[in-house]
Amino acid sequence: MKYAANIITTIRLLVACLLLFTRALSPLFFLLYIICGISDMLDGFVARKTNTATSTGAVLDSLGDLVFLAVAAIKLLPILHLPSWVLWWALLVALIRLLSYLIGYIKYRKFASLHTYLNKLTGLLLFLSPLLYLVLGTVSLALIVIAAAIISACEELFITLQSKELDRDRKGLFLH
């Protein structure tokens, strides 16, 4: 039970890699995609309930999120035909996050990805994007996701700049 959360996260990493070998938006793609999403919610829950949360687990979870996001982008971006402004905003989000991680590493000598409520909301929106795309269309979905991503990335950067100690589980800029 001690390593259950990390095993769940490792499964997410492996299943995310399997997504590379599926046809985007196929039934198998959605099955593996949903397994990744469920495992993302489950690993943190298991770690907290079993009192086995560790900094290694938090880093592994962030790595799992990054791999899943990268694979989903590789599979979905070619078929979504996003306007160029969406890609520019996404690049800005990535740059803000990279700056935050760099500052965090310099300050704390550790990978400093935070699990804030806004980061969780952005992750949820990204996870639901293939389904929301069918309902909202490209532009509306892009506006919602990019707004959440910009706000959450800026919040994480501000927290990293102002915090004296690394607290990966900080809930938000004004929440502790």
Asked if residue 65 has pLDDT above 90, the reply is no
Asked if residue 176 has pLDDT above 80, the reply is no
- Residue 81, sorted as left (phi over 0), alpha (psi -120 to 50) or beta, turns out to be left
CA 136/CA 133 separation, integer angstroms: 5
Asked if residue 41 has pLDDT above 80, the reply is yes
CA 117/CA 16 separation, integer angstroms: 23
Q: What is the pLDDT of residue 112?
A: 86
CA 128/CA 117 separation, integer angstroms: 16
**Angle 84-147-9 from CA coordinates, rounded to 5°:** 95
Q: Which distant-in-sequence residues (6+ apart) come within 8 Å of 168 by Cβ?
A: 55, 58, 112, 113, 114, 115
Query: Is 24 within 8 Å of 80 (Cβ atoms)?
Result: no
Asked if residue 154 has pLDDT above 90, the reply is yes
What are the tokens at 50? 């079993």
Q: Where are the domains of the chain?
A: 1-80, 82-176
Asked if residue 55 has pLDDT above 90, the reply is no
Integer CA distances (angstroms), 97 to 44, 52, 132, 142, in order: 21, 27, 24, 18
Q: What is the pLDDT of residue 175?
A: 81
Q: What is the pLDDT of residue 31?
A: 95
Q: What is the mean pLDDT of residues 151-161?
A: 97
The per-residue pLDDT for range 85-133, each reduced to its tens digit, is 998 999 999 999 999 999 999 999 988 889 899 998 998 998 898 889 8
Q: What is the pLDDT of residue 4?
A: 93
% of the chain beyond a pLDDT of 70: 100
